[in-house]
Each structure stands twice: as structure tokens, then as C-alpha cells.
Chain A
Amino acid sequence: MSVDRAFYNAAERNRFGLLEILFWLCPIAAFFLFPTSLSFATHVLIMALFAMSLGLILSFAGIVTLGHAAFFGLGAYVTALLSLAGYQEPITATFLGGAAAAVLALVIGPLLLRLTGLPLMMVTLALGAVMFEAANKLGWLTGGENGLGDLRYQPVFGIFRWSIYGQTAYFYTLAWLFVLFLLTRSLVASPFGLALQGIRENPLRMNLIGAPVTGHLVRVYTISAFIAGIAGALSAQATGFVGLDVLSVDLSINALVMLVLGGVGNIYGGLVGGALYIVLRNLASDWNPYHWMFVIGAFLVVVVLLGQNGVIGIVERLTSLISGQRKETSP
């Protein structure tokens, strides 16, 4: 019997099993099942990507931030401004949106990541609010409350046009999501990923085994910001519009709720939670436009009470019950 990969790094448990293939068939199936709701489905994918980027730093490095929308928003505005300036090649425009967010993280990370816990949450919250207000005041650049509209991009690879039905946007977003997912998955399974888990568990001790703790954290923060920036860029491209809400504090907090809903500690947590949150919110607001928060809240309470770790935690418990392999858990 071969040794379980999780023996070396718990994050290596994620590999292409049956469940994983089924999971990735869902967005393909959604394309055929809901051909008239593709712009909504694209929004689901974008939020899943954004939640995954937050999950990377929260689940694996223990960085709790309330300002992640800063990177999402920066990516969105950069890509939008590129389009308005006449630069409309879509793939590099998306990439540049992510790169701008990464540069911001690289600059603020070394200062920010010396903090942990509550102080870190407060400072990131403040930074997010500052970014929002700055975008609001710099109306000549960002369009202020009116936002930036009528964004146009060339066809992807010069072939696939951005249609009003959103097929191109959907598959373009799905492709980015999948590529960035593969990147994240391999990152957390690497020795670097294990070192991050060490920092999450005991940063003081990591320092005393000679680890560059802040250096490690800045690197993962930069990668996470890059992914969040890509998510923002995709939202600008998919909707052809960027408004102030891409920088809102709400967005940062929603991403945290998505993670808790999906499950912390697994890269699928953000994907599942992000998708579930957006779909649920949509269904709930159809049902009752005024009290949809009640549905989300009730669902969150149930998930937290039922499983130790979101929907992923519940699924894990069910599968282990079914297969009869009761895990040896700590008391």
C-alpha cells in the first residue's frame, strides 16, 4: 500500500479523483443547462475565483484580512482604464490587472504582514476604505459614482467575439479560473505551502527555525493579490463596466463569508462557498428582495452548526461515513 500523499502535506490530498472531475464538470453542465443566464454564471465564477484567492492566504497562511477587495478593485480599474486608453487585447489586459494588484501587495505587504490578528484586520479594513474613498474622489480617472462604462475588448485569440449572450465571457472566465486553480493547488502542495502552514500554526517558532516569515507571507500575499486582481479584471471584461462596488468593504467581508460557508483549509472551500453564496443570494432575492440576507444568515448558521468546516467539511464527513473509513480524529 502506498503512503497517502497527505502524509507529506495535507494539501496534497487534492488531486484529480472522481469527485474533482465531477466538480469541474458542473460549470460545463451549467453552460448547457442555463444558456440564458450566462452573465450570471460568469459572475458566479468570478466570485468563486475571488474567494479562492482569499482562501489561499487565510486557510494556508493564517492571514485574516478585511481589505481583499482592494486588489479586486484595482485589477478591475486597471483593465478598464487600459480598454478606454485603447489597449483592448483581452488576455494581456486581464494579466496586467492582476499584475497591478500584485505590485500593490508587494509594496504594502512588508509593512502589513508584520501585524497579525485584530490589528491586521483593522489596518486592512482601513486600507480598503481609503482605496474606496480615493476612487470616489478621483472622478476624472475612475468616473467616481458613475463608474467606467462601455468597455470593449478585442475577440479572444482574435476569434471569439464578446457577445451579448456571454458565451465568450463565460468560457474565458472559466479558463482563467481553472488555470489559477491549478497554480494554487500546486502551490499549497509544495514545500513552500507546507512552510505557510507552519507559519499559520506557530509563526514564532518558524522564525526560530530560521524561516523568513515575513518574506514567505509577502510572497503568498502577492500571489493571492494577483489572483484577486485577475478576478476584478474579469469582472470588468465580462460586464463591460466598473463601478465603485468593486472596492467596497462589503465585497471583502462577503469573501470571508463565502470561505466560511465553503470551508476553510481546503482550496475548494472558496470555490464551493463563492458559488454557493452567489447562487443562494440570487435565489433568495428572487424569493424576497427585502429579506434575502435572512436566508443567507440562516444557511450560514446551519452550515456552521452542522459541520466543523463549512460545506466541504460536511461532504468530507459524509464521504468518510459512506466509505466506512472513520477518520482517527483528535479529541
Chain B
Amino acid sequence: MTEPALVVRSLCKNYGGFAVTRNVDLELPRGARHALIGPNGAGKTTLVGLISGAIAANSGTIELFGRDITTVSAAQRVKQGLVRTFQVNSLFPHLSVFQNIFLACSEARGTSQRMLGRTSGQKPIIGQVEAILDMLGLSADAGRPVATIAYGRQRLVELGIALALEPRVLLLDEPAAGVPSVEVPLLIHAIDRLGEDITILLIEHDMQIVQRFARTMTVLAEGQVIASGAPDVVMASEQVRSVYLGKSGHQRFESGKAHA
């Protein structure tokens, strides 16, 4: 019963001779709040793609609650509770906010097979959608086409779709990217309120969000895990500092400290 939620072992992905993911190991216990950070091009989004099944790995294994899902299709992984959000919005632009989330609820519960009966008559699902809209503060925008609402709020819809799929493991790929700073608290608040039974892997650049969210973290650079553990320990590591900030950045960082 206590097997970890997600285990990644020796995962590799090459594009031709170029290794994007090199021997990545990752283990998330149930209910984890794990952050994945790394400089641009470290292979973070590729890793999310591999775990979610959008990209096929060259070697290595992925286990979800003890079951090997390495060769399972992306759609089937969703059915098994492994859900991701996207860094760049990938929504249904001309459908309303309500309909976007309804679609996800409807697929998760198998209602999308129903050809008889109006959409407005699906009371249990409508209730579920309304609860999600309420939680994310989207109720006021429910009837508007997604393409017409602010980008930051579209990110919330993205999160809403993920939640509608009843995730057990949630991969959040830079949820705050492109969100105006005034709307970031809304997003953080929403993530804070996610149930403890959901295991979360967060990819994020914004260190403030990471610090607030993460209980454990992993640093990725050039496709490799260079450090993993509690945030203070990881961030204190010399190697992480030099890789994450770059050689010159590190020097600036140090000299900044010296001047202070």
C-alpha cells in the first residue's frame, strides 16, 4: 500500500545524437510536493512529456503506484490518474470556460459517450464543474469563450481541466509562466488548496513559488539530475549554484554577497 506514487528509473531520451534526458531517477512518495528546477534547456519539459506519455522514452521505466506504465498511451495514463498541465496554453479557444472544464469532467466520468440527453441536463457533472470554477475563482467568466479572457485566467482554466480529470499525480509545467504578477497569488492559492492526497510535481522558474510550495526538490541540468532532497540543502549546494546561476552568474552572486 505504501509504494510511491511515481517512480522514474534511468530514463533516457535522445534526439539523434543529442541526449536531452540522461539517466534520470525520480521518486515521489504519495502526497509529495516536489519541485523540479533547472536552467533553460535543462530538459524539464521533456521530462514531463516523457512521464505523461506525450514523448516516448528511449530507455528506462516509469511506474505509477507500482504499475509499470512505460508503454501505456498518454490517454490511458490520464485514465489512471496521471495528469499534466501545459506550459503553453492548449485549450479549446472558442468554447466557454465552463465547456472547457465540462469536457474534461465528462471524459473522466464517461459521460462523453452519451448521445441522448442535453448537456444542460447532466446535473452531477455540472455540479462538479461549478465546484472547480468556484475553487479557482472562475465563476464570473464561466460563460465566456476561453480565447477572450485574460491569459492569467486561461492558466487557471488549464489547471481546472487538470483537476477535472481527478488526478492522483499532477504534473504542473510552469503554471505561472506568462501570468501577470498581480494574478500569481490566485494561482498559488489554488495550488495550495489542492488535496493532500494528490501527489504534485511542479516545474517552475519562479523561486518564490518554489520556496513556498516545495517540500522536496530536484535540480536538472543538461538532462541530468544534479541534486535532489530538501530545498535548503539543495539550494545550499555549490554545484547547484554554479550550474543554476552559471559560472559568471555565480561569480556575480558571490561578489554581490561580498559587497553586501
Q: Which of A's residues lie within 8 Å of B, judged by CB?
A: 3, 5, 7-9, 12, 186-187, 189-195, 197-198, 201-202, 204-212, 216, 219, 330
Contacts and interface: CB of A to CB of B under 8 A. Distances in A.
Contact of B116 (A9, A186, A204, A210): A186
6 contacts: A7-B143, A8-B120, A194-B95, A195-B112, A198-B99, A211-B75
Contact of A8 (B54, B104, B111, B119): B119
B118 to A, nearest CB: 5
Label chain A's interface by main secondary structure.
Answer: helix
B119 A189 contact: yes
* Chief secondary structure at chain B's binding surface: helix
Contacts, number: 115
Contact of B54 (A190, A208, A330): A208
B45 interface: no
Given A9-B118, A201-B95, A208-B90, 10 more contacts: A3-B120, A186-B115, A189-B118, A191-B125, A194-B99, A206-B103, A208-B75, A209-B104, A210-B78, A211-B75
B93 A5 contact: no
B165 interface: yes
A191 B145 contact: no
A207 to B, nearest CB: 5
Contacts of A206: 103, 107
Given A208-B74, A211-B107, A9 B90 contact: no
B17 interface: no
A26 B118 CA distance: 27
A206 B106 CA distance: 11
A330 B146 CA distance: 10
A210 B92 contact: no
A331 to B, nearest CB: 8
A189 B112 CA distance: 12
Interface in B14-69: 52, 54
B92 A205 contact: yes
A46 B74 CA distance: 43
Given A194-B106, A195-B103, A205 B118 contact: no
A204 B90 contact: yes
